[in-house]
Amino acid sequence: MQEMSDINEKSNFVFEFQPVTKLFEEQVRLHPDKCAVASSKESFTYAQLNERANRIANSLIEKGVGCEKIVGVVLERCCDFYAVRQGILKAGGAFAVAAPDYPDDRVQFIFEDAGVPFIITTKEIQKERQELFSRLSCTVLLLEELLENPNAGNPDTQIKEHDLCYCIYTSGSTGKPKGVMIEHINLANFVNPNPKNAETYGYVSRGSVSLSMAAMTFDVSVLEEFLPLTNGMTAVIASDDEILNPIMLGDLIVKNKVDIMTTTPTYLSNMIDLPQLQEAAAQIKVFDVGAEAFPPALFDKIHAVNPDAYIMNGYGPTETTISCTMKVITDSKNITIGEPNGNVQVYVVDKENRILPDGETGELVIAGLGVGRGYINLPEKTAEVFITLNGERAYKTGDLAKITPDGEIEFFGRIDNQIKLRGLRIELGEIEEVVNSSKELSPVLQYRWIINIFAATLWQTVRSMLKRLPLMRQNPWLITWFRMFSSSWKKCL
């Protein structure tokens, strides 16, 4: 039986730290006229994107942004989203993103919790959310004005390994989202294309144009931006309308010759089911799939429309920098989350954090260069899950796993009551806290509301599974019964 230490040693490599800002600037030097980012409305070459990022960065530096300063971002999906995030990092700051359609209370909590001095948005969003911005203590900066800065040169900012890079807010069990802090060394290690960094190497070595469709508040959007831009590739940003419209998304993929896609198993399965998207799916060379368990049947569906596709099943909490293990899926058997990515170590521990031997089930703990700093303003929670194990800084994932005889990680699900919805982490405690805090709902209605959420979520999952059964597609009587039952169930909710 393979020892865990052997697994951990296989992916180690030494690299000279350079922040992602310098890695991007090197690609600008090598490929100034190559398309860096595109959408259905616009596109920027590497030189153009760098110039816009520099104007933003120099504007922020003039306003006092620097090391450990978090800058808020509220923007619609567009190419300038990348210019803004690159610009914040070039200024020495870190970014925290809130979606334009977030409720006022959530936006206010995120930016006040992060202590942001500035928020970058557009004139249009400022006008639409005027009441929100008037309640915030920070200064609102308009993107249109930042881009007018005459200084388009690369700022001479010194970024160190453990400087803060970004803060992603995830669902929290206390009823409030918690901010995960990731440092520059974490992201620099993740984007490194060393062959031992298997997921990144598979991403950048087998394609050239990647699709960006993750929510900008989700850490996968960091992958979709920084893997291409630090490795000389092109990123194509899908709009909200394109993500929801299969015909528009298929056209975007085909017209831009997209050949790399990062997505959840659920979205990919639904995509392949649609005839309008099968041409687009056949064009993809690399599927980087994660954020949910990989169903064995999905391999057969992918293989049917694209037998040559390179399929990576990635796993990783936000706290360990996007993704930390990966398995290349070559058949529908023995689906695991694979082996550690570059400079990542994995352990399975018992309730007392003692390392278990291979083959025993326990909590999966991640160590190495991917482990982030912790949670912003939550020292007790940070100390609870960010620990020292085997002499290394490590993160307790809350996931059950074991090491198989083949030296791979088999995943069994959660220890706690966290769930995944479309790849996003949802703490049920946060839902409960919000419902309990409502003055408009009686206890009975609160209870029924929570039950309805679970019932609806469960029913949607069951309905999706049943509709894919061959028996359902072939038997008219079952289809009629299914529709009647579905209608009756909805009336109960």
pLDDT the model gives residue 481: 41
pLDDT the model gives residue 391: 93
Tell me the pLDDT tens digit for each residue of 480-490.
444 444 444 44
pLDDT the model gives residue 130: 95
Residue among 287, 250, 201 nearest 15 (CA): 201
Residue among 161, 155, 166, 188 nearest 53 (CA): 155
Query: What is the C-alpha end-to-end distance of the chain, expressed in Å?
Result: 51
Enumerate residues 6+ apart whose C-beta is below 8 A from 291.
220, 264, 420, 423, 424
Strands (E), 6-145: 35-38, 43-45, 70-73, 94-97, 118-121, 139-142
Tell me the pLDDT tens digit for each residue of 214-230.
999 999 999 999 999 99
Q: Which residues pair with 366 in a beta bridge?
A: 346, 395
Residues of the chain with pLDDT under 70: 1-5, 172-174, 416-493
pLDDT the model gives residue 448: 55
Question: Alpha carbon of 346 to those of 4, 315, 404: distances in Å?
Answer: 8, 12, 13
Tell me the pLDDT tens digit for each residue of 249-296.
999 999 999 999 999 999 999 999 988 888 999 999 999 999 899 999
Question: Alpha carbon of 373 to those of 166, 167, 184, 320: distances in Å?
Answer: 11, 10, 10, 9
